[in-house]
Structure 1
Amino acid sequence: MLIDFAGLKPVQAYEWMSSLIVPRPIAWVSTLDAEGRPNLAPFSFFQMITGKPPTLMVCPLMQRGGKLKDTVQNIAATGEFVVNLAGPAQAQLLNATSFPFEAGVSEFEACGVEAVTGTLVKAPRVQGAVASFECKLAQLQPYPKEDPSCHLVFGQVLAAHVDDALLGPGGVLDPGQVDLLFRMGGEWYGKTQSENNFTLPRPR
């Protein structure tokens, strides 16, 4: 089957891509607005970019009518944010925070998510997250430049909070213990812990 994207509506292109480019990690992004009110929202268009400097990227889509997501507005105003990684046990809480609350409403409070004060940034992090990356804004740009449909948010990682249960001897992270919630297409979700996972050394 050949799919000519030139003939697709944006929503159709989104559905094909989001259902096939899987699994996608979920950035559960916590921010503060200019008045210091907390916000929490999940984004599955998310990935690490480089380790030098340690940088990740989150890509919030524009809302209908071209309105910016609260997350984008807050990051632009404060220059800080936290990317939290949720485990499967937090699936219901994470999904609840995707509701389109009015600006200024704290998803932490509305959805019963416990917040922890940030260490190097003012934005709070999620209590019980598998890991949380405290970030400062490195770059924020609309894409595409003409009639943007999203914003590319690059964050330089300042610090990470990691669940001690993931650490092996000598405090080294054990990848086999990391169990994260991830996004598939439509309403499908999954988790990284699976009996079908395997190791595969690179050829030398």
Structure 2
Amino acid sequence: MRTDFSPDELSSRDFYRLLTAVVVPRPIAWVSSTSPEGVDNLAPHSFFTVASVNPPIIAFTSVGKKDSLRNIVATGEFIVNLAPANLIAEVNATGTDFPPDVSEFDAAGLTREAGLTVQVPRVAESPVALECRLHSTLEMGDCVLVFGEVTHAVVASEVLQGTHPGIDRLDPLSRLGLDEWGTMGDVSELKRIRKDDWPGGFRPADRA
């Protein structure tokens, strides 16, 4: 038995809540930007992904036209900081609807760290920062997709295993439905099967 939901029959808010409850877990782009007036903004955006490998482009969605979007369009620069589990209170606090003249860095008690290739501060407490130059934006309904070309990446040495960031050391947060947040939990390692190695007769249902 299944229950049907139609976007034509639900309010846009209710269907949005359904989508964010089933498109899970979602990584968080903790976006720092600076306004033309020099106010440093910091906000979490949970519609976030890699959009291109070469050139390296990441994308996040601004649901509505918020301070992050206005600052990025005006200056052409931003940084995506990783949102780690130990900073869940600070990440949540930076989602507060402060007016544009209030810096979330100061409100949440976070430390600025100078960017290397952009005039935007990183979150010093975050283990990863991806410095970005605005590539393009795309309006889609009441949202705007923001594409940024990564101009520099910095990773805290203590989370590296060799040259690779260890997922258990990064301990990233994710967003779920409603006011729910996710942490890493169990991690499984499973290599992709090459066609030449495909086992005859394999069916997913055969798994014990």
TM-score normalized by the length of structure 2: 0.88
Aligned to 1:120: 117
| Deviation for aligned residue 1:121 | 0.2
TM-score normalized by the length of structure 1: 0.90
- Other structure's SS at 2:8 match: helix
RMSD: 1.2
Measure the CA separation in 1 of the matches of 2:138 and 2:166: 35
- Other structure's SS at 2:92 match: helix
Aligned to 1:34: 36
- Contact 1:34–1:74, Cα closer than 8 Å, also in 2: yes
- How many pairs does the alignment contain? 192
- Other structure's SS at 1:156 match: strand
Aligned match for 1:159, one of 152, 165, 176:
152
How far does the alpha carbon of each residue in 1:7-31 deviate from its partner, in whole angstroms, 9 at most, with x for none? 1211011000001100000111000
Q: Structure 1, unaligned stretches of length 5 or more?
A: 63-67
Aligned to 1:150: 143
Aligned match for 2:74, one of 56, 74, 77:
77
Measure the CA separation in 2 of the matches of 1:57 and 1:38: 20
Please say if 1:59 is aligned against 2:61: yes
Q: Structure 2, unaligned stretches of length 5 or more?
A: 195-208
Aligned to 1:172: 164
- Contact 1:48–1:56, Cα closer than 8 Å, also in 2: yes
- Contact 2:72–2:134, Cα closer than 8 Å, also in 1: yes
Measure the CA separation in 2 of the matches of 1:25 and 1:129: 14
Aligned match for 1:48, one of 27, 44, 50:
50
Measure the CA separation in 2 of the matches of 1:94 and 1:151: 21
The amino acid of 1:8's aligned partner reads L
Aligned to 2:5: 3
| Deviation for aligned residue 1:176 | 4.7
- Contact 2:80–2:130, Cα closer than 8 Å, also in 1: yes
Q: After the TM superposition, which parts of structure 1 deviate over 4 Å for at least 4 consecutive aligned residues?
A: none
**Sequence identity of aligned pairs in percent?**
36
How far does the alpha carbon of each residue in 1:64-90 deviate from its partner, in whole angstroms, 9 at most, with x for none? xxxx20111100100000001111110
- Contact 1:33–1:104, Cα closer than 8 Å, also in 2: no
